[in-house]
Amino acid sequence: MAETALTNTIEPPARPGGWRGIAADWSSDQRAFKNVSWGKAMMWIFLLSDTFIFSCFLLSYMTARMSTTVPWPNPSEVFALTIGDKRIPLILIAIMTFILISSSGTMAMAVNFGYRRDRVKTAALMLATAAFGATFVGMQAFEWTKLILEGVRPWGNPWGAAQFGASFFMITGFHGTHVTIGVIFLIAIARKVLRGDFDVERRGFFTSRKGHYEIVEITGLYWHFVDLVWVFIFALFYLW
């Protein structure tokens, strides 16, 4: 009886506060990632870390633009194209944005048909998404070439603040690299889907479980993230 009374009077240890409390809650929760595959969880962690990198780039760009005493180039003039005898501002950037946003739609449909085990439609939609992405990268290469020929460099440009060139090549180049990697990944996974690797459990990368089409969704997570980042780049770099 004395031991029981002593046990009942012992108070539980105090819960730590702040970030230690959050870490303790997550580490003690046995259900947090029970229904999430490692592939999907790792992709979310990667996207979170990539969000920090893009955020640092965009914040640095905004800081440079607001702190410079030299006039900043007008994006409507810098990124204008001459069609016929008329100079149209941001026409190329608008088409690039439309193409990339459209690719999110084809990617979403590919994920839908992937879980329906429709190999042909899934592969076709993934290849269509890759084609949209490749078109975007090609148009971005044209944009880079045009500005380089006009004298834009990472250390200066003919229209004003020298930071413009460095910001442009760093941000759009980093994003274009992500799109290029996504295009390669889309083609590789589409080939596996069309070949039926996920149905016959053919050995290789991303085909460890039979009938497992989750890799299509994981690829879609990456692609939607790349599209979302472009929306912020478009708004802050080209429209501001």
**Which CATH number does the domain housing residue 75 bear?**
1.20.120.80
- Decide if 144 is inside a domain: yes
* Whether the predicted pLDDT of 21 surpasses 80: no
**14 in a structural domain:** no
Measure the CA–CA gap between 133 and 145, rounded to whole angstroms. Answer: 18
Contact status, residue 107 vs residue 125, Cβ threshold 8 Å: yes
Q: How far apart are CA 121 and CA 114, in angstroms?
A: 8
Confirm whether 65 is domain-assigned: yes
Query: For 108-152, what is each residue's pLDDT tens digit?
Result: 999 999 888 888 999 999 999 999 999 999 999 999 999 999 888
* Total domains in the fold of the chain: 1
Global pTM?
0.82
Q: What is the Cα–Cα distance from 120 to 110, expressed in whole angstroms?
A: 10
In a domain, 28, yes or no: no
pLDDT digit string, tens, across residues 3-17: 454 445 555 556 666
Q: Please check whether residue 119 is in contact with residue 194, taking contact to mean a CB–CB distance below 8 angstroms.
A: yes
Residue 22 lies in a domain: no
Residue 57 is part of which domain span? 38-238
Residue 19 domain flag:
no
Dist. CA 38–CA 46, nearest whole Å: 12
pLDDT at position 175 over 80? yes
Which candidate, 114, 99, 141, 126, places its Cα nearest to that of 227? 99
Are 161 and 68 contacting, i.e. CB atoms less than 8 angstroms apart?
A: yes
Q: Specify if 32 maps to a domain.
A: no
Q: Is residue 8 domain-resident?
A: no
Burial 166-182 (b: 16+ CB within 10 A, else e): bbbbebbeebbebbeeb
